[in-house]
Amino acid sequence: QSGKTLPISFGADGGEVVWNGTTSAGILGIEGGPASISFEIVDSATTSVLVIKQDQGDPANPVTVAEVTLTKATGAYSYVQVANLLHVDNGDNVEDDATFVLGYTVTDGDGDTVDGSIDLIIDDDTPIIEAHSRADYRIISDDDDVTGLNGNPGFGDNPVDGTPSDSREYHQSGKTLPISFGADGGEVVWNGTTSAGILGIEGGPASISFEIVDSATTSVLVIKQDQGDP
């Protein structure tokens, strides 16, 4: 909710409105708490800009998170998010929104003043898995296609060798998981819930093991089978 105008009137004298030093951060939803937040007001002839900063690990160089620009002559304001605000992580996958109270001072033409404030809420996005059909994202690998690995031959090299084969010539790889990290960004990795089905595996699920190899940019799931040498 930006691009609005403060509910003010200067009266017949005219006047201006600026941000003031009463701006504050709420106690919830902010990593490091209110103490990690600082404010700077940059006034020009026509605007008053409130700069919101957060200590994100380097106290000497806080990160500019947002700027709220106020037009002095009208009270019109606009909000720009410059960087992610670090929200507190309670480990509960709940959106921990951060709240701020932005204070302003209205001054009329002969110097009379009145103070007011508006609220700012910075929403904490949580990652989501979008609604989808599992069939659209499964990978079906056919042993027939693995040349020279002595896989299940099915009915030979014919890529459409028919339904009696217990390996199907159908692949679905090179897709993207139906996920969203939200505004905070993030990453996705394979996890320990990976499992093998009970059908179609010589030795059954007990013959299968999994290894996850993570690097800075990838997560590789390695599927192994005991084929006679545990």
Model pTM? 0.60
Query: What are the pLDDT digits (tens) for 146-202?
Result: 555 554 444 444 555 444 444 444 455 678 888 887 666 678 999 878 887 777 788
User: What's the DSSP call for residue 143?
Assistant: G
Going through the chain in order, the beta strands assigned E by DSSP cover 4-5, 15-19, 24-25, 37-43, 47-54, 63-71, 76-81, 98-108, 113-122, 128-129, 179-180, 208-214, 219-225
Taking the CA atoms of the chain, what radius of gyration do you get in angstroms?
A: 29
Separation of alpha carbons 84 and 182, rounded Å: 11
User: What's the DSSP call for residue 61?
Assistant: S
Longest alpha-carbon distance in the chain = 94
* Contact of 178 with 135, CB cutoff 8 Å: no
Query: What are the pLDDT digits (tens) for 43-54?
Result: 999 999 999 998
